[in-house]
Amino acid sequence: DIQMTQSPSTLSASVGDRVTITCRASESISNRLAWYQQKPGKAPELVIYKASSLESGVPSRFSGSGSGTEFTLTISGLQPDDFATYYCQQYNRYWTFGQGTKVEIK
Amino acid sequence: QVQLVESGGGVVQPGRSLRLSCAASGFTFSNYAMHWARLAPGRGLEWVAGMLNDGSEDYYADSVKGRFTISRDNSKRTLSLQMNNLRADDTAVYYCARGMGVGGYRPFDNWGQGTLVTVSS
């Protein structure tokens, strides 16, 4: 099974900050990586797919990069609506989520 | 617009069974792979099961293999999850999700609001 490891588990930041979340795969997954945002009591929402492609309707302050085993999600200019938990997901072989990164208000 | 509505959750005793359903609308259901994922209290998201658009292949997480069965009825635009021999660690909100585009290994571009399953004596 492919394991996905996110860091950090929790990130404290202020509005306007640039934040970066890292996701590592236990084996190469090419660019078959997605990022999701989930708020309490709500369904997850797709933010990034194919490592760096922005899902339709997602603000351009979100960006993704990486390939192989190391990936990052960057939010440039954190907005109040961005405080949430973010998950990476590999879909190269079956589907596996990372354990999540909670972005909280500093 | 795409809508996925889950139903069938509830409280069930360990060892018993439950069947979840997901009603789809707003897109051509038979063109998309569909999945179930769950969010357990204090834990992260976990993919549970998936099925190709035509029902020809299904996939399961190791944690549910042999206990859960995914199925679909394209004529009724419905996805189901039969859960047998339930355990306490199956307690979670279960989400129905659509695979993006055509084909097998894709991310999930639309999700339902979820249905809560609680396994407790």
Could you list the pLDDT tens digit for every one of the 121 residues in chain B?
A: 999 999 999 999 999 999 999 999 999 999 999 999 999 988 999 999 999 999 999 999 999 999 999 999 999 999 999 999 999 999 999 999 999 987 779 999 999 999 999 999 9
Q: Which of B79, B73, B2 is nearest to B37 (CA)?
A: B79
Q: How far is B31 from chain A (nearest CA, A)?
A: 19
In this structure, what are the phi and psi dihedrals at residue B89, rounded to the nearest 5 degrees? Answer: -80, 5
Q: Which of B44, B50, B113 sits opposite A95 (nearest CB)?
A: B50
Share of chain A above pLDDT 70, in %: 100
Model pLDDT, residue B40:
95
A37-75 pLDDT, tens digit each: 999 999 999 999 999 999 999 999 999 999 999 999 999
* A-chain residues near B62 (CB < 8 A): 1
Residue A100 has pLDDT above 80, yes or no: yes
Q: Which of B22, B57, B105, B110 to mutate to test the interface with A (most CBs of A within 10 A)?
A: B105
Model pLDDT, residue B104:
78
Integer Cα distance of B16 and B85 in angstroms? 5
Q: State the count of interchain CB pairs (< 8 A) between A and B.
A: 58
CB contact under 8 A, A97 and B107: no
Mean pLDDT of the region A13-41? 97
CB contact under 8 A, B106 and A55: no
Model pLDDT, residue B103:
74
* B-chain residues near A93 (CB < 8 A): 105
- DSSP-derived secondary structure letter, A24: E
Model pLDDT, residue B101:
80
Q: How would DSSP label each residue in A29-98?
A: -TT-EEEEEE-TTS--EEEEETTTEEPTT--TTEEEEEETTEEEEEEES--GGG-SEEEEEE-SSS-EE-
Model pLDDT, residue B34:
97
Phi-psi region for residue A29, left (φ > 0), alpha (ψ -120 to 50) or beta? alpha
Model pLDDT, residue A53:
98
Q: Which of B47, B59, B114 sits opposite A43 (nearest CB)?
A: B114
Q: Which of A6, A19, A5 is nearest to A105 (CA)?
A: A19
Integer Cα distance of B31 and B70 in angstroms? 17
* A-chain residues near B48 (CB < 8 A): none
Q: How far is A104 from chain B (nearest CA, A)?
A: 16
Model pLDDT, residue B110:
98
Tokens of A5: 């490891």
Tokens of A57: 């309707």
Query: Does the bond joining A8 to the residue before it have cis omega, within 30 degrees of 0?
Result: yes
Helix (H) or strand (E) holding A18: strand A18-25
